[in-house]
A and B are shown apart, each in its own frame.
Chain A
Amino acid sequence: MAVVSTPATLEQAPPVLDNAEVLRIRNDFPVLDQLVNGRPLVYLDSGATSQNPLSVIEAEQEFYEQRNAAVHRGAHHLAVEATEAFEDARQTVADFIGVDYAETIWTSNATEGLNLISYTLSTAALWSAQGRGDAALKELALHPGDEIVVTEMEHHANLIPWQELAFRTGATLRYIPIDDAGSLRMDEAAAIIGPRTKVLAFTHASNVLGTINPVRELVALARAAGALVVLDACQSAPHMPLDVKDLDVDFAVFSGHKMLAPTGIGVLYGKQELLDVLPPFLTGGSMITTVTMERAEYLPAPQRFEAGTQRISQAVALAAAVNYLTETGLDRIHRWEAELGERMVSGLESLPGIRVLGPAAGKERIGLAAFDVEGVHAHDVGQFLDSRGIAVRVGHHCAQPLHRRLGLTATTRASAYLYNTTDDVDRFLDAVSGVRAYFGA
């Protein structure tokens, strides 16, 4: 057996992960080392939530064992230590996506980040109507006749906050349709995004189709229209290099739990000049300067958007997760997952009665595949795979309109991460090949 050693630096590492390295990576994830229904677990549900490496679990434990205190208050030793850890974590995450420290706001998850944007934008209309805020804020306010544009492939988190923003402001919600191959209709996008568009919100990569959207083209359309751009990076930040400043979006969101961190922590990026003028979302302690019984003055970002005691240990753990990912190399992870995604799709396409959603084999996609099994409901597919120790997601994956567009109510989705081997994909494909026979379809 060949002896494999970890490369000393990322520069020396091969450009893509391989099974030997993935097997070493896997050792860092205790939860993956178990039998499910008598078989070694194959975890292919990282699109829903990822697993935690020991370094992340230990970072959170170390925080509670040695540094736990409320941040930004109290002059005692632990408070200082906790505040440092918390703000260092913010810097780590800011560097990870190529933005500034003060533009990086902690949220509970991407959903909260998107709601934060939605609510501050409707509050902008309220404020400016009452003469509060400056001229720049007035520009951001939405009114009847304005349009918010999303895409047909959004998951509910990047759809419903915009539906509700449209309701609160009288603006109109429109969407860019997809074609049958699961790509955005860019001809339609060019026609829909126009002078009325105030907000364009779209996902970087689809959690169902696996499509990677043309961010730069969409940003160019939005810029020409003078619209704000909101990027949902839930399925990209964990899996590929992400330079938010380079993409030139106005806001971006992602969740920690999809990138090796615990639940309860997420990130919102906002351009400094926008964060400076927008009203806060949640209000209370930690985000104010002067408070009287009648009114309050607010701190600048990031504190402006972080009311109340924060998710401190989770932020520290997210920074540990970011370090794990950067040490492994996002480029290398992205290439490996693309290989796994390709292996899934070409394997699934070769099976009778299987319809893969999104790009066909050979076309660019992230490391996931959602599919329909003719004659067998997704729930039954998932149960069958579980009996063989394989964890996948079944249902509409929080994207009901997309499924309706594709003529389906539920599908099965396998989603890979840096700890999955080609053997995992092969075991998954082998199990899927037995589904229709078992259910007599």
Chain B
Amino acid sequence: MSLDQLYQQIILDHSKARHGSGLADTEAPAGSSTGQSHQLNPVCGDEVTLRLAVEDGKVAQVSWDGQGCSISMASASVLTDLAEGMTVAELHEVIDSFREVLRSRGKVHADPELLGDAAAFEGVARYAARVKCAMISWVAAEDALNQAA
């Protein structure tokens, strides 16, 4: 597998755009219920703190701070775009699907209808050492979602 299949353009772009990055600059919508989760990968020092606001059963806002490799930062950015506007149940379904693909060592293909841009991380599943990079913000989102919903 070539490096370009791992680092798809969408990942490289999101690793710079970092949608949702900047916890201090955003306030959760008034009246929303929020959850916040900090995740750390002790192996490489990748770190994400992610806050998720739920209003009327839908994800109203995702905001995060983090530092790490392009895969982990892009993954948090893509997750932000994807999650906002989803119902709690929908986001749970997407997280479960993403995890299944990432942990499959390349055996389970991503469903682009369900995962949208996150399907670009399918190639990461073949790099066992990088799966946690892609998962870290999703683990934080799941934890925050459980607190908020």
What residues of chain A have their CB less than 8 Å away from a CB belonging to chain B?
376-380, 383-384, 387, 394-396, 400, 403, 409-410, 438-440
Contact of A379 among B3, B16, B47, B71 (CB under 8 A): B71
B68 at the interface (CB under 8 A from A): yes
> B45 — nearest CB in chain A belongs to which residue?
A409
Extra contacts, 17 of them, besides A395-B45, A439-B70 (Cβ < 8 A), are: A378-B44, A379-B130, A383-B3, A383-B6, A383-B7, A383-B127, A383-B130, A387-B2, A394-B44, A395-B43, A403-B45, A409-B47, A410-B45, A438-B7, A439-B7, A439-B12, A440-B16
Within B42-76, which residues are at the interface with A (CB < 8 Å)? 43-47, 67-71
Interface core residue of A379, A383, A440 (most chain B CB under 10 Å): A379
Within B115-142, which residues are at the interface with A (CB < 8 Å)? 127, 130, 133
**Which residues from chain A contact B47 at a C-beta distance below 8 Å?**
409
Q: Are B44 and A387 in contact (CB under 8 A)?
A: no
Q: Are B127 and A409 in contact (CB under 8 A)?
A: no
**Which residues from chain A contact B43 at a C-beta distance below 8 Å?**
395
**Which residues from chain B contact A379 at a C-beta distance below 8 Å?**
44, 46, 68-69, 71, 130, 133
**Which residues from chain B contact A377 at a C-beta distance below 8 Å?**
68-70
**Which residues from chain B contact A380 at a C-beta distance below 8 Å?**
7, 69-71
Nearest Cβ on chain A to B75's Cβ, whole angstroms: 13
A352 to B147, CA, bound (A): 45
**Which residues from chain B contact A438 at a C-beta distance below 8 Å?**
3, 7
The 10 closest A-B pairs by CB, nearest first: A379-B69, A377-B69, A409-B45, A387-B3, A395-B44, A380-B70, A380-B69, A410-B45, A396-B45, A379-B44
**Which residues from chain B contact A400 at a C-beta distance below 8 Å?**
45
Nearest Cβ on chain B to A207's Cβ, whole angstroms: 16
Within B65-119, which residues are at the interface with A (CB < 8 Å)? 67-71
- Majority SS of interface residues in chain B? mixed
> A38 — nearest CB in chain B belongs to which residue?
B2
What residues of chain B have their CB less than 8 Å away from a CB belonging to chain A?
2-3, 6-7, 12, 15-16, 43-47, 67-71, 127, 130, 133
Interface core residue of B6, B7, B16, B69 (most chain A CB under 10 Å): B69
**Which residues from chain B contact A383 at a C-beta distance below 8 Å?**
3, 6-7, 127, 130
Nearest Cβ on chain B to A390's Cβ, whole angstroms: 12
Known: A377-B69, A400-B45. A384 touches B3 (CB 8 A): yes
> A403 — nearest CB in chain B belongs to which residue?
B45
**Which residues from chain A contact B46 at a C-beta distance below 8 Å?**
379
Q: List 11 A-B contacts (CB under 8 A).
A: A376-B70, A379-B44, A380-B71, A387-B3, A395-B43, A395-B44, A396-B44, A410-B45, A439-B7, A439-B12, A440-B16
**Which residues from chain B contact A403 at a C-beta distance below 8 Å?**
45
**Which residues from chain A contact B6 at a C-beta distance below 8 Å?**
383
> A395 — nearest CB in chain B belongs to which residue?
B44
Nearest Cβ on chain B to A430's Cβ, whole angstroms: 16
A403 to B69, CA, bound (A): 16
Q: Are A440 and B12 in contact (CB under 8 A)?
A: yes
**Which residues from chain B contact A394 at a C-beta distance below 8 Å?**
44
Nearest Cβ on chain B to A85's Cβ, whole angstroms: 38
A376 to B15, CA, bound (A): 10
A298 to B69, CA, bound (A): 52
> B15 — nearest CB in chain A belongs to which residue?
A439
Interface core residue of A380, A384, A396 (most chain B CB under 10 Å): A380
**Which residues from chain A contact B7 at a C-beta distance below 8 Å?**
380, 383, 438-439
> B47 — nearest CB in chain A belongs to which residue?
A409
> A379 — nearest CB in chain B belongs to which residue?
B69
A380 to B68, CA, bound (A): 10
A301 to B65, CA, bound (A): 53
**Which residues from chain A contact B3 at a C-beta distance below 8 Å?**
383-384, 387, 438
Q: Are A409 and B67 in contact (CB under 8 A)?
A: yes
**Which residues from chain B contact A387 at a C-beta distance below 8 Å?**
2-3
**Which residues from chain A contact B45 at a C-beta distance below 8 Å?**
395-396, 400, 403, 409-410
**Which residues from chain A contact B127 at a C-beta distance below 8 Å?**
383
**Which residues from chain A contact B68 at a C-beta distance below 8 Å?**
377, 379
A284 to B45, CA, bound (A): 39
> A408 — nearest CB in chain B belongs to which residue?
B45
**Which residues from chain B contact A395 at a C-beta distance below 8 Å?**
43-45
A104 to B66, CA, bound (A): 47
Nearest Cβ on chain B to A211's Cβ, whole angstroms: 22
A308 to B121, CA, bound (A): 48
A440 to B127, CA, bound (A): 22
Interface core residue of B67, B68, B70 (most chain A CB under 10 Å): B70
**Which residues from chain A contact B71 at a C-beta distance below 8 Å?**
379-380
A364 to B43, CA, bound (A): 30
> A381 — nearest CB in chain B belongs to which residue?
B69
Q: Are B44 and A410 in contact (CB under 8 A)?
A: yes
**Which residues from chain B contact A396 at a C-beta distance below 8 Å?**
44-45
